[in-house]
Amino acid sequence: MPFETAVAQAPAADYETALLALAIPRGSLPPSLEGLDLQTGGAIGRVLAAGDFTGKQDETAVIYPPGPAPRVLLIGLGKPEDVDRSAIRRAAAVAAKRTRSLGVTRAAFHLSAEARGKVNPADAGQMIAEGLDQGAWQYNEMKKPAEDKKPPLERMEILAPEGSGDLTQGHKVGQAIGAGQSLARSIQVLPGNVCTPSYVAERARDLAQRHGFLITVLDRAAIVQEKMGALMSVAQGSAEEPRFIAIEYQGSDSAPLVLIGKGVTFDTGGISIKPAQNMEDMKYDMSGAAAVLGTFEMLGRLKPRVHVVGLIPSTENMPSGTAVKPGDVVTSHLGKTIEIINTDAEGRLILADALSYARRYSPAAVVDIATLTGAIVVALGHTATGVMGSDEQLVEELRGAGERAGERVWPLPLWDDYRDLMKSDIADLKNSGGRPAGSISAGWFLREFVDGFPWAHLDIAGTAYSDREDAGRVKGPTGVGVRLFSEFVLSRSESGERETRSVSGTKA
């Protein structure tokens, strides 16, 4: 049974539940929780007084008091003046994780009005829903069920004693975004032998069918016919067929936002083969595609007044007797020729043809998202997604959306000075400029295929997956991009799901 969250208009003090999770800022007990404290025979107050729990960020304590909730889980929110959207999302994620580790399947979550600080009820509802979903997510479908394994979390109720209108509205948004993020993670996590290009296309078809989106899937023959020579050069070495997916949600008549996701289902590097160390992580090279599909799950659930097209070029990158070789020259969809210097610089090749394909939509803006360069990990680590673009305003808009989403985005310059890095002796362009400014030269390569629309590029090579577990993340897929795209797309929607949003600092 998939995890679900719901708003319950009920006071925390006498709510019957197997576990009550309480988000508490640093300092003394918020006055609104005094009634509940009384119900628990003063147990919460005593834990605080003893200093066993102080409300520090990510801190937890479980107590077993008398009263209608046999377990009370306290979660630290950090300093009251620092409580922002990210702090709330994070506390909710910690609550869900801790509840799951206790083996409790149904629980309640409560954030008092004082504890939410400057965050409004709608935003709080959204953050709690996003966080709970994030913390509840796990993947063990490929393991045999262990006898002693804890059951998955089924349902968490968000208690809203003081009337639930705005909170419910926000919860609906957060629930849709959370579902999108979970969907993205569930696709990202799959190994390359399961998640092939045709599998990605099937997942897209399933989305289209469930939510009524338009969908077009090009197979190998159609890709050849469409003259996507750059995508085909990557696909030609693989026994698996490539796919080019176009999915469309037309919630308004305005020019669409086009989201392009890199869908390399496994990147060996091709003939310029990668070292064996950590090569298994290259199953995550379709994380951009997963982010786009996750965003469409959100769109299908919320149905906002906005027009969005998702484009996913999907292929493996394999070495073989039919693989493209260094030095080969190929002709892209746009008509520009490309000298393949390094077959491991394949992401930019498949994105180039998608950017060119996007012209037919006369887009209001195009944003691509891709695990594109190792260099972005050197520059920004696993903390921020890199952004570049031809349009200052669009880049700024994405930065703002990233702050609200708790998915940080940081700009790199696409100055003309860098353009020459991609000059070829024999063709219009080469696909690799070597080590200097590796992320920017990749950005410049893409820019050469941008024709007639505002464009920005997100490099998620450092943020798509995590090699360790922390408060906000599991080890493995992060679903990065779904929250960011959701904030971006919803703030552009005409129905004003997100007309007035405050940009608050984030720590996630």
Q: 250: closest CA among 312, 300, 183, 311?
A: 300
The 3-state secondary structure of 392-416, one letter per residue: HHHHHHHHHHHHHHCCCEEECCCCH
Instruction: Choose which of 344, 407, 487, 497 interacts with ligand BES (CB under 6 A).
Output: 344
Question: Which of ligand BES, Zn ion, Mn ion, none does residue 342 bind to, with CB < 5 to 8 Å depending on kind?
Answer: ligand BES
Closest to ligand BES by CB, 126 vs 188, is 188
Closest to Zn ion by CB, 318 vs 395, is 318
Compute how many other C-beta atoms are within 10 angstroms of the C-beta atom of residue 358.
Answer: 25
Q: Does 319 bind ligand BES (CB under 6 A)?
A: no
Q: Is 485 exposed, middle or buried (0-12, 13-18, 19+ CB in 10 A)?
A: buried
Closest to Zn ion by CB, 86 vs 315, is 315
Of 97, 348, 430, 473, the active-site residue reads 348
Residue 160 near residue 9 (C-beta atoms within 8 A): yes
Please provide residue 294's backbone torsions phi and psi, each rounded to the nearest 5 degrees.
-60, -40
Compute how many other C-beta atoms are within 10 angstroms of the C-beta atom of residue 50.
Answer: 8
Q: 450: closest CA among 390, 376, 508, 373?
A: 390
Contacts for 217 with CB less than 8 Å, ≥ 6 apart = 201, 204, 205, 243, 244, 245, 246
Contacts for 351 with CB less than 8 Å, ≥ 6 apart = 260, 262, 313, 368, 370, 372, 446, 449
User: Whole-number minimum distance, CB 310 to Mn ion, in Å?
Assistant: 22
Of 79, 155, 274, 305, the active-site residue reads 274
Stretch that binds Zn ion, among 277-285, 323-331, 391-399, 450-458 (CB under 5 A): 277-285
Instruction: Choose which of 133, 267, 297, 368 interacts with ligand BES (CB under 6 A).
Output: 267
Cα–Cα distance between 459 and 354 in angstroms, integer?
Answer: 16
Stretch that binds ligand BES, among 39-47, 70-78, 210-218, 345-353 (CB under 6 A): 345-353
Q: Does 463 bind ligand BES (CB under 6 A)?
A: no
274 given a catalytic annotation: yes
Cα–Cα distance between 164 and 125 in angstroms, integer?
Answer: 9
Closest to Zn ion by CB, 17 vs 287, is 287
Question: How many residues lie near ligand BES (CB under 6 A)?
Answer: 16
Q: Nearest residue to ligand BES, using CB?
A: 374
Closest to Zn ion by CB, 109 vs 444, is 444
Stretch that binds Mn ion, among 101-109, 118-126, 323-331, 343-351 (CB under 5 A): 343-351
Cα–Cα distance between 506 and 508 in angstroms, integer?
Answer: 6
Considering only residues 412-431, where is the footprint of Mn ion by CB under 5 A? none
Stretch that binds Mn ion, among 61-69, 264-272, 322-330, 415-423 (CB under 5 A): 264-272
Cα–Cα distance between 423 and 247 in angstroms, integer?
Answer: 34
User: Whole-number minimum distance, CB 482 to Mn ion, in Å?
Assistant: 23
User: Whole-number minimum distance, CB 171 to ligand BES, in Å?
Assistant: 34
Cα–Cα distance between 131 and 174 in angstroms, integer?
Answer: 9
User: Whole-number minimum distance, CB 346 to Mn ion, in Å?
Assistant: 5
Q: Is 346 exposed, middle or buried (0-12, 13-18, 19+ CB in 10 A)?
A: buried
Residue spans of alpha helices (H) in 40-137: 43-50, 85-102, 121-136
Contacts for 360 with CB less than 8 Å, ≥ 6 apart = none
Compute how many other C-beta atoms are within 10 angstroms of the C-beta atom of residue 337.
Answer: 15
Q: Does 373 bind ligand BES (CB under 6 A)?
A: yes
Q: Does 188 bind ligand BES (CB under 6 A)?
A: no
Q: Nearest residue to Zn ion, using CB?
A: 267
Instruction: Identify the sign of the CA torsion 128, 130, 133, 136.
Output: negative
Closest to ligand BES by CB, 130 vs 346, is 346
Cα–Cα distance between 430 and 428 in angstroms, integer?
Answer: 7
Q: Does 368 bind Zn ion (CB under 5 A)?
A: no
Q: Does 344 bind Mn ion (CB under 5 A)?
A: yes
Residue spans of alpha helices (H) in 256-320: 287-302
Closest to Mn ion by CB, 69 vs 370, is 370
Helix axes 482-492, 165-188, angle to 10 degrees: 130
Helix axes 165-188, 287-302, angle to 10 degrees: 150
Contact code string over 33-72 relative to Zn ion, x by CB under 5 A: ----------------------------------------
User: Whole-number minimum distance, CB 285 to Zn ion, in Å?
Assistant: 4
Q: For residues 70, 75, 80 and 86, what is the CA-based torsion angle, rounded to 10 degrees?
A: -130
Stretch that binds ligand BES, among 68-76, 242-250, 308-316, 367-375 (CB under 6 A): 367-375
User: Whole-number minimum distance, CB 370 to Mn ion, in Å?
Assistant: 10
Instruction: Choose which of 105, 268, 314, 432 interacts with ligand BES (CB under 6 A).
Output: 432
Q: Does 374 bind ligand BES (CB under 6 A)?
A: yes
Q: Does 316 bind Zn ion (CB under 5 A)?
A: no
Instruction: Choose which of 261, 347, 363, 454 interacts with ligand BES (CB under 6 A).
Output: 347
Interacting residues toward Zn ion by CB under 5 A: 264, 267, 285, 347
Catalytic residues: 274, 348
Interacting residues toward Mn ion by CB under 5 A: 267, 344, 346
Interacting residues toward ligand BES by CB under 6 A: 267, 285, 342, 344-347, 371-375, 377, 432, 438, 461
